[in-house]
Structure 1
Amino acid sequence: MQKVLTAKAIEALKPQEKRYEVHDLHCPGMSLRVSPQGLKTFSVKFRYGIAQKRMKLGIYPRISLATAREKAIDILQEVEKGNNPTSRRRTTNMRVEAVCGEFIKLHAQARNKSWREAERTLEREFVGAFGQRDIRDIKRFDVLEIMDAAIARGSTYQANRILSHVRRFFNWCVERGIVDVSPIVGLKAPTKEQSRDRVLDDTEIIRLLRACRNDVYPFRQFVPILLATAQRRGEWAEMLWSEVDLEAKQWVIPAERSKNGKPHVVPLSAYALTMLNDVPRFVDCDYVFTTTRKSPVSGFSKMLRRLSEGSDTGEWRLHELRRTAASGMERASVAPHVVEKVLNHISGTISGVAAVYNRYAYDAEKRDALEGWGQHLERLAGTGHS
């Protein structure tokens, strides 16, 4: 039977006395088998050499129709390249370390702009504990064990992050047919998080900028620039020299790294440019902030502890520098919608229908706002010399 498969059409397929198969007209080669027990299984058929082969894609609704088509297309493209997908599948490494690596490469990088955070958390907490074990042997109590360890060392919010990233990882494993069921289905976050409203006052900013001057590259420049521009940590960490126009005094965050999926122009104030001009440039390296010359800067937790202690300004995170900058611009009477444009927010004062019709980028207003904020930081930095 041939049919255009849709979610509604799949739901309507009823079990019969004998197993039957429906071929998807939208993805030639992919089909859905319905067993007498009602089990609905996606598979893809292809010819490799003279032999016709079939690969199971997953069971509906554990994987969606869209995911099944995506997997089928990937397999058929492998065949077109002359590769045998079934051979590759038989030699799949099922160790936690290998499967996590595949998850980051095939899923997180393509769908999650903050994938490096997922990578760090999974490698440090999950792979670090169970890296050489078979992913199919990981149980609920194993995940609870690493969450409990985070809570025991006082990192209650980190326990929530661990659960969030591990949950996404296992959901992907179910979609791929690596495991049949996620071992942490229904597991709740151990800690209820409170929204933070921490803002550094001018005295704290003075002490922080002084501590930065006593630090070394890359955080000597990274933290003041973060404070001066009000952008996200991850966007600055992955900043490339090729994205910066020093003559136009601006940095363009490309769509693939911008949180709302659109290019974002960041005007660079005189203060931000002073910090940026202090950054060393390495031959054959496009990263602005790096310690390896091959990957973006990392080590934020150690830096935060060091600068917090050095400036005697505890209980803040890097994201709060963004909030501090926004609050500073608002105190200087910058219009809320301009601050939102600086922050690259997609909701707020101008949202909904108004946002559809208002395509003005407010570039001049953003530049004035950041220049005024930069002058304020420059005055505070001068105060910090005394």
Structure 2
Amino acid sequence: MAKTLTALSIAALKPEASRREIPDGKVVGLFLIVQPSGAMSWAVRYRVGGRPRKFTIGPWPAVDLASARGRALEALAQVAAGVDPCEQKRAARAAAVEKQRAELDVVERVVAEFVERYAKPNTRDWRETERKLLKDVVPAWRGRRLSEISKADIHVLLDSMVDRGAPVGANRTFAQIRKMCNWALQRGLIERNPCDGLAPPSAEQTRARVLDDGELAIIWEAAGRIGFPFGAIVRLLILTGQRRDEVAGMRWAELDSERRLWTIPAERSKNRREHAVPLSDAALCIIEALPRFDSGFLFSAGATPPSGFSKAKPRLDKAVADVPGGENIPHWVLHDIRRSAATGMGRLGVDLVVIERCLNHVSGSFGGIVGVYQRQKYEIETRAALDLWAHHVGALVSGKGEARP
């Protein structure tokens, strides 16, 4: 007959070369398992449908003798009632895992994790990614699991955006949803990407809008009317041909006044390549007239560059309409200025290779293997090109040969 275990007898046990199971004489079916390492744990042995089963209670001394007996009696009572405690434990563990998985899979949590763990470290425009997802995706799917989102759900969301007059915005949101779902799939949060097999909701045409000389002159005049900071930003866009966010995010530390050079660091450049932009006298005149902030930014006193272009553009459009002849200008966007500067330099006789260097393009003449081995800076050529362009803009806006702020 098995001896009744006591706290003292358990404490006196010594490990042996092989694993042992010591039965408790008080509760039939309860065993103390002693490993060769000296570790000990409790288990209950019973039968269900004639098949032997073992229910693990927990380690000793975390589970003392009295607690082990109590849990063993509970388990044996379940067996007597026709319930297998092992299966119940397994089901409870599966339910806990599913609950935890469900919490990780909630759409708003996935969005937050995606922005924090992927978009911020890997993309420069993560704020736009966050804005799109928080504006359109989270309100529509709040509280739902991403794994439950179907193709039909995506169609409903994107169709609503198209119906409210934002077809291009729907395309951009779809791209972010697809990217987020791919990220979630790689992390095991979902088993499939609901975007697979879906196409963007709206067809887009490559923009080819080039502002003519008269339109550029009117926009220059209108920019002077809307004031700081967007007016100066627009005029520098015209003079330099650089990208909107690159100009808006300019820092004083990027400027070399003696060399009349603005160096866009690789982390702020779209193609991740440092880019040196020679500054014309007209561009320097605009920059030197700007206020100075402790922030280090040219166009912001805060911790981030100005970002209110969606509100500034309508103000600029109204100012354009107030300039004589401006009311007839067809729709245009700020990026058209960059294309127009490139086209304008081409009309002035600037070589395509030099224009591409001015714009920091890595395709075209500098694509592929050429981009790897072609390291010539073209500073003299690009300075001449941007000076020529500034003189042309000046002639457009004043007829005196050089652009002035």
TM > 0.5 fold call: yes
The 3 A distance-change label for structure 1 pair 205 and 143 is same
Relative distance call for 1:176 and 1:143 in structure 2 (3 A) is same
Deviation at 1:121, TM superposition (A): 2.1
Q: 2:115 aligns with which of 104, 108, 115?
A: 104
Q: Identify the residue that residue 38 of structure 1 maps to in structure 2.
A: none
- 8 Å Cα contact 2:147/2:192 also seen in 1: no
State the match for 2:162 in structure 1: 151
For residue 339 of structure 1, report the CA deviation from its aligned partner.
0.2
Report deviation, 1:168: 0.4
2:349 to 333, 339, 344: 333
- Structure 1 residue 161: Cα displacement: 0.9
Instruction: Find 2:236's aligned residue among 225, 230, 247.
Output: 225
Structural mapping, 1:25-40, within 5 Å: none
Q: 1:372 aligns with which of 388, 396, 399?
A: 388
Q: Distance in 1 between matches of 2:102 and 2:155?
A: 30
Letter of the aligned partner of 2:316 in structure 1? L
- The partner residue of 1:301 within 310, 318, 337 is 310
Give 2:286's aligned residue. 275
Looking at structure 1, the residues matched to 359 and 171 of structure 2 have their Cα atoms a distance apart, in angstroms, of 26
1:204–1:138 Cα change, 3 Å: same
2:273 corresponds in structure 1 to 262
Could you tell me how far apart the structure 2 residues matched to 1:141 and 1:233 are? 36
Partner of 2:178: 167
How far off is 1:142 after superposition? 3.3
Aligned residue for 2:251?
240
Superposed displacement of residue 134, structure 1:
4.3
Asked if structure 1 preserves the Cα contact closer than 8 Å seen for 2:251 and 2:296, the reply is: yes
Do the aligned residues in 2 keep the contact of 1:211 with 1:307 (CA within 8 Å)?
yes
Q: Distance in 2 between matches of 1:172 and 1:208?
A: 42
Aligned residues of 1:228 and 1:370 also touching (Cα < 8 A)? yes
| Structure 1 position 135, deviation (Å) | 3.7
- Aligned match of 2:187: 176
**Shift of the alpha carbon at 1:219?**
0.5
Tell me, yes or no, if structure 1 residue 286 matches structure 2 residue 300.
no
Compared CA separation, residues 90 and 144, structure 1 to 2 (3 A): closer
Tell me if structure 2 keeps the 8 A contact 1:232–1:322: yes
1:186 to 197, 205, 224: 197
Q: Deviations over 1:96-155 (max 9, x none)?
A: 334323212221233333333323322322234445544444443333233112211222
1:320 aligns with 2:336: yes
SS in 2 for 1:178: coil
* CA shift for structure 1 position 178: 2.1
Counterparts of 1:242 and 1:128, CA distance in 2 = 41
- Taking the aligned partners of 1:197 and 1:114, their CA distance within structure 2 comes to 24
From 358, 382, 386, give the equivalent of 2:398: 382
Question: What secondary structure is seen at the aligned counterpart in 2 of 1:203?
Answer: helix
Distance in 1 between residues matched to 2:168 and 2:390, nearest whole Å: 33
Residue 344 of structure 1, aligned match among 338, 341, 360 = 360
The 1:300–1:133 alpha-carbon spacing in structure 2 relative to 1, beyond 3 Å, is: farther
Please tell me whether residue 214 in structure 1 is matched to residue 225 in structure 2. Answer: yes
- More deviation in 219-228 or 312-321? 312-321
Tell me which amino acid in the other structure corresponds to 2:338: R
SS of equivalent residue, structure 2 residue 266: coil
Per-residue displacement from partner, 1:217-237 (whole Å, max 9, x unpaired)?
211111111121111122223
- What is aligned with 1:25? none
The structure-2 alpha-carbon separation of the partners of 1:373 and 1:287, relative to structure 1 and needing over 3 Å to count, comes to: same
User: Which runs of 5 or more structure 2 residues have no equivalent in the other structure?
Assistant: 1-96, 321-326
RMSD of the TM alignment (CA)? 2.6
Query: 1:324-368 deviations in whole A, cap 9, x for unaligned?
Result: 000111111011100000111112134444444332110111111
- TM-aligned CA deviation for residue 188 of structure 1: 0.9
Question: CA, structure 1 residues 245+90, in 2 after alignment: closer, same or farther (shift >3 Å)?
Answer: farther
- Alignment check: 8 A CA contact 1:253 1:263 kept: yes
**Offset, 1:92:** 6.7
The alpha-carbon distance between structure 1 residues 131 and 354, as it changes in their structure 2 partners (threshold 3 A), is: same
Contact persistence 1:159–1:190 (CA under 8 A): yes
Aligned partners of 2:170 and 2:201 also within 8 Å: yes
CA distance in 1, matches of 2:210, 2:106: 44
Structure 2 Cα separation of the partners of residues 184 and 308 of structure 1: 37
Residue matched to 1:52: none
Would you say the 8 A contact 1:308–1:314 is kept in 2? Answer: no
User: Counterparts of 1:2-151 in structure 2 under 5 Å?
Assistant: 94-131=105-142, 133-151=144-162
Using the size of structure 2 for normalisation, the TM-score is 0.67
CA deviation profile, 1:66-92 (whole Å, cap 9, x unmatched) = xxxxxxxxxxxxxxxxxxxx9xx8897
Change (3 A) 1:349 1:302: same
122-131 or 195-204, which deviates more: 122-131
Letter in 1 for 2:289: D
Distance 1:132 1:257, change over 3 A: farther
Q: Matched residues in 1 for 2:144 and 2:291: separation?
A: 42
Runs of 5+ consecutive residues of structure 1 not aligned to the other structure: 1-85
Using a 3 Å threshold, how does the CA distance of structure 1 residues 286 and 123 change in structure 2: closer, same or farther?
farther
Q: 1:104 to 1:289 in 2, by over 3 A?
A: farther
